[in-house]
Amino acid sequence: MPAIGVFALQGDVREHLHTLEALGVEAFAVRRPAELARCDGLVLPGGESTTMVKLARAFELLDPLRERVRGGMPTFGTCAGMILLADRIEGGTADQETIGGLDVTVRRNAFGRQVDSFEAHLDFVGLDEPVHAVFIRAPWVEETGPEVEVLAAAEGHPVAVRQGHLLATSFHPEVDGDGRVHRIFLDLVGH
Ligand code: GLN
């Protein structure tokens, strides 16, 4: 049974743990390097990307995270987690660092203040039925590198992408118990 960690220094951890457990994998919170070392795959949840990256540095997780992601560990970022995986950010704070690995530019809080949060039904590559997507102060993908596959779009911008072992969504597939996007991630883990 693969061991799937959920980055848990800040953010929307519990819903991911529940969704993963319902799919029959061992899911656990990651707050320390030793926990990261056990992971066959990792979820970076939604939350506040600036805080998450600062805490990751303070807890000596940022460099180990970069090494594991660069080394091929399947990783799934949702919302702030997508920002953490992005190589480039628009609308970040001046010194905002990321883990990186995904050859995209993401725009933070891209959908604007009036529509801070919204829901949509989106076609998703590889899924027969649309996904109910919940967006909360979400980023979108502004630019994609040549190896990035777009899996879903909203308002003309990619909101779900894959590049090799990395998967990222602007929205929160963990909130309504629909495990299909997590299932796609577990396929990358090889489960
Ligand atoms: N706006 C947040 C950020 O920039 C992301 C919001 C979320 O994860 N729901 O980090």
In the 3-class helix/strand/coil scheme, how is 26-47 assigned residue by residue?
A: EEEEECCHHHHHCCCEEEECCC
The rounded distance, in Å, linking the Cα atoms of 147 and 150 is: 10
**pTM: predicted TM-score of the whole model, two decimal places:** 0.97
Q: Are 3 and 40 in contact (CB under 8 A)?
A: yes
97 as an active site residue: the answer is no
Check 16, 35, 79, 165 and give the catalytic one.
79
CA–centroid distance, residue 1 to ligand 1 (Å): 31
Provide the residue type at 134 as one letter.
V
Helices and strands (H, E) in the chain, number of each type = 6, 12
pLDDT digits (tens, 9 = 90+) for 55-71: 999 999 999 999 999 99
Alpha helices in the chain (DSSP H): 13-22, 33-37, 49-58, 62-70, 80-85, 180-189
Say yes or no: CB of residue 79 within 6 Å of ligand 1. Answer: yes
Name the residue range of residue 7's domain: 3-189
Say yes or no: CB of residue 136 within 6 Å of ligand 1. Answer: yes
Q: Residue 113's pLDDT is what?
A: 65
CATH number of the domain enclosing 169: 3.40.50.880
Token duo for residue 151:
């899996």
How many distinct structural domains can be found in the chain? 1
Tens of each residue's pLDDT in the chain, 191 residues: 899 999 999 999 999 999 999 999 999 999 999 999 999 999 999 999 999 999 999 999 999 999 999 999 999 999 999 999 999 999 999 889 999 999 999 999 999 765 688 999 999 999 999 999 999 999 999 999 999 999 999 999 999 999 999 999 999 999 988 999 999 999 999 96
Token duo for residue 130:
């649309």
| Nearest C-alpha neighbor of 133 from the set 148, 144, 123 | 123
Distance of CA 185 to CAs 69, 97, 112, 118, 120, Å?
A: 14, 24, 29, 24, 21
